[in-house]
A and B are shown apart, each in its own frame.
Chain A
């Protein structure tokens, strides 16, 4: 079942056309939800297909991304970091400079516009760290839509500041007490809300997971990241990168920067998962590195699961990577060999966080710090003429408490 995309030379682009019409990426993806949700998904698929093909929709989205989100985000050559590493040149795609501080808003803006086209006055979202919740609450405020965000009680306690941001933006935050009381349970609860209130409600999923068309739609909205890089890299560095690195929680920032590069066989794609306390400890969220295929949240993909097929709780210092599944397109890219996946521990991510602060004056999100950490491992093994592009998916303002605590400080 190998994908017919060669991973090395030649460098001529190779067509890539996933998913198929029913939302499958090889054996992954699909529409694994109860009958009660099928009509809603069908309505969404039709609406999104119409938006995707409509130049007026695309123009409106492009306008909002430029004037409200602040796109394009720059690519920045991290020269001091590169010099310190003594190998490949590290470039950063600055998604941290977007309005709300992460790539998440690319997707929420897109889905909010679809919701408006569908005439849905109410949007709901799930959130873990609160970044997607904030991005959803932001666009809901921008368009005067009611917004309800589901968040596990564990995360509500850990991310008090983002809870307050969502409230300031007019959203209602509903604490979820079921299951492990984290992101996966928030997603379950949002699905339950959607199935009950589908007539007036649009569900804005925050990553490239869920049933078709979500993995494709969320990828499409984040693909602006990679599309900009395709233009920016030749302008800034004279050519496309040798490697593209991105952290992988559900996988939306990674799919966003990977997708436009998939047809470019000379560009290696590397996803960086949360290794937590180390893969051997079992306390991690490295789904592709250490999980196995199964069905959760509407799609078939790699999962963290026990011997009975129950979903395991995960651990990462970065709440945004703390998810026991992963987008099905990543499962496909892994099996086909077009992308590879590695993991970075909490400690390595923290070290990278501090290094980037110190060498470049950029405070990265802990999620993004995982990608930076792998760049720090990789760059010294490569020549100085090689190029590593890192998706700096978000900024670290939200992580001050976590980082201080890890350093033995309290703010």
Chain B
């Protein structure tokens, strides 16, 4: 069983939503990647989304744009990130790691070559923001051959037809973007999110995570009552931005712990699924 499936199985048994921090790999520098992963896991991460920095992060707000710029300035590249994950796997063979980024660095490496190297490094899933399902034929095939889960986005504007399209291809989990806009934007309406999740679940048994706009532990708790995973991105990246580079992992971990408390507090309110 894949690390992602095993994690969701384990959490289902204890009726808790997965806590999924997003950080940009190489922010503040590539040397900080293993320490960052370690700190996030120590502070309650169940799955880690590791952003691959790109020069043109079209779907990201200012916070994650700046994180990408910092990482690129520090010399971070895709091959380097795969190596860092491989190194980290020697100490942690359980926590699922999902890469999240844009198509071009992967296309430049070559989709099949990337899938092979990602597998070898111990990557469990990949979300390419600008690979929608209709452009993902070769991509899904290459990941499938390597046994890596293709993660797809759904959004408040996704039609029933698009939900079905994603449901046919998605493995691991589906990432529901909880607002119209870019990463880091304002708070979300949890009732709207809950309604949409019910629609998605009508079409697939793949777990559904929620992210974009979860900025405080209370919102995380509200979402954790019904979502399978809660993704915290910009709020953690802000903390990294404000910290001295050598304090970044510790500060990211400290803020993540407050979200973990929110997710834990939702356990009693959760219906079993």
Residues of A that sit less than 8 Å from B by CB: 22, 30-36, 38-40, 42, 178-180, 184-185, 188, 191-192, 195-196, 198, 292-298, 300, 303, 305, 307-311
**A36 and B106 in contact, given A178-B65, A178-B69, A295-B130 (Cβ under 8 angstroms):** no
Q: A296 vs B159: C-alpha distance in the bound complex, in angstroms?
A: 25
Report the Cα distance A310→B68, complex, angstroms.
11
B60 and chain A: residue at smallest CB distance? A192
Cα separation A294 to B134 with both chains bound (whole Å): 17
B56 contacts A36, C-beta separation under 8 Å? no
Render B130-142 as a binary contact track against A, CB cut-off 8 A, 1 for contact. 1110110000000
State which of B56, B104, B108, B185 has its C-beta within 8 Å of the C-beta of A188: B56
Q: What residues on A are CB-neighbors of B65 within 8 Å?
A: 178-179
**Highest count of chain B CB atoms <10 Å: which of A34, A297, A311:** A34
Q: Are A309 and B56 within 8 A (Cβ)?
A: no
Confirm or deny: B58 has a beta carbon within 8 angstroms of a beta carbon on chain A: yes
| Interface contact B130-A309, CB-CB below 8 Å | no
A294 and B157 form a contact (CB under 8 A): no
User: A179-B69, A192-B58, A192-B182 are known contacts. Are A38 and B104 too (CB-CB below 8 A)?
Assistant: no
Kindly state whether residue B198 has any CB partner on chain A within 8 Å.
Answer: no
Most chain A CB inside 10 Å of its own CB: which residue of B65, B102, B135: B135
B58 lies within 8 A of A191 (CB): yes
Q: How many angstroms from the CA of A110 to the CA of B132 in the assembled complex?
A: 28
Contact in complex: B58, A309 (CB < 8 Å): no
Known interface pairs A178-B69, A196-B181; A294-B104 also in contact (CB < 8 Å): yes
Type the 1/0 row for B9-21, where 1 means its CB is closer than 8 Å to any CB of A. Answer: 0000000000000
Which 10 pairs of residues, A with B, have the shortest CB-CB distance?
A309-B108, A39-B157, A309-B105, A308-B77, A35-B153, A196-B181, A295-B103, A34-B59, A310-B55, A32-B130
In whole angstroms, what is the CA distance A320 to B58 when docked? 21
Say how far A285's CB is from chain B's closest CB, in angstroms: 16
Given contacts A36-B153, A294-B104, list 14 more A-B pairs with CB under 8 A.
A31-B134, A35-B166, A38-B162, A40-B157, A178-B66, A179-B55, A180-B55, A184-B56, A188-B57, A195-B180, A195-B181, A196-B185, A308-B77, A308-B108
Interface set, chain B 164-218, CB cutoff 8 A to A: 166, 177, 180-182, 185
Chain A CB within 8 A of B78 CB: yes
User: CA of A375 to CA of B134 in the docked complex: distance in angstroms?
Assistant: 42
B154 surroundings in chain A (CB, below 8 A): 35
Query: Contact: B54 with A36, CB < 8 Å?
Result: no
Instruction: Give the complex CA separation of A88 and B156 in angstroms.
Output: 59
Assess whether B61 is interfacial by the CB under 8 Å rule.
Answer: yes
Q: Are B180 and A295 in contact (CB under 8 A)?
A: no
Chain A contacts of B59 at CB under 8 A?
Answer: 33-34, 36, 192, 195
Pairwise interchain contact A311-B55, C-beta atoms closer than 8 A: yes
Q: How far is the CA of A295 from the CA of B103 in the complex (A)?
A: 6
Tell me if A38 and B109 are in contact (CB < 8 A). no
Verify if B269 is at the interface (C-beta below 8 Å from A): no
8 Å CB contact of B54 from A31, A292, A310: A310
Known contacts A36-B177, A36-B181, A188-B58; decide if A296 and B158 are in contact (CB<8 Å). Answer: no
Q: Determine the chain B residues whose CB is within 8 A of the CB of A178 once the complex forms.
A: 62, 65-66, 69
Closest A residue, CB atoms, query B75: A308
Q: Report A-chain residues with C-beta under 8 Å of the C-beta of B66.
A: 178
Against A, the Cβ 8 Å flags (1 = close, 0 = not) of B76-111 are: 011100000000000000000000001111111100
- Give 16 A-B contacts (CB < 8 Å), ordered by A residue: A32-B103, A32-B131, A35-B152, A35-B166, A35-B177, A36-B155, A42-B159, A178-B65, A195-B180, A198-B180, A294-B104, A295-B107, A309-B109, A310-B54, A310-B104, A311-B55
Residue-by-residue, is B118-154 near A (CB-CB < 8 Å gives 1, otherwise 0)?
A: 0000000000011110110000000000000000111
A311-B132 contact given A36-B177, A295-B104, CB 8 Å threshold: no
B72 within 8 A of A: yes
Q: Evaluate whether A179 and B130 lie within 8 angstroms (CB atoms) in the complex, with A35-B162, A196-B180, A308-B77 already known.
A: no
Contacts of A191 in B (CB 8 A): 58
Residue of B nearest to A24 (CB): B135
Q: Which residues of B contact A311 (CB under 8 A)?
A: 55-56, 104
How far is B145's CA from A58's CA once the two chains are assembled, in angstroms?
49
Chain A neighbourhood of B78, CB < 8 A: 308-309
Check if A195 sits within 8 Å of B56, measured CB to CB: no
A169 to B102 CA separation, bound complex (whole angstroms): 36
C-alpha spacing A39/B162, complex, angstroms: 9
B55 near A34 with CB under 8 A, answer: no
Per the bound structure, the CA–CA distance linking A188 and B105 in Å amounts to: 17
- What 0/1 readout, one digit per residue, does chain B (34-69) give for beta carbons within 8 Å of chain A? 000000000000000000001111110110011001
Q: Which residues of B contact A195 (CB under 8 A)?
A: 59, 180-182
Q: Cβ of A292: which chain B residues have Cβ within 8 Å of it?
A: 108
A176–B222 alpha-carbon span in the complex (Å):
35
Most buried by A among B56, B103, B134, B162: B56
The docked-state distance in angstroms from the alpha carbon of A34 to that of B134 is: 11
Chain A positions within 8 Å of B131 at CB level: 32
The smallest beta-carbon distance between B155 and chain A, in angstroms, is 5
Within the assembled complex, what's the spacing in Å between the Cα atoms of A44 and B159?
15
A196 surroundings in chain B (CB, below 8 A): 180-182, 185
Query: Contact check: which of B57, B58, B153, B159 meets A39 at CB < 8 Å?
Result: B159
Most chain A beta-carbon neighbours within 10 Å: one of B59, B153, B154, B159: B59
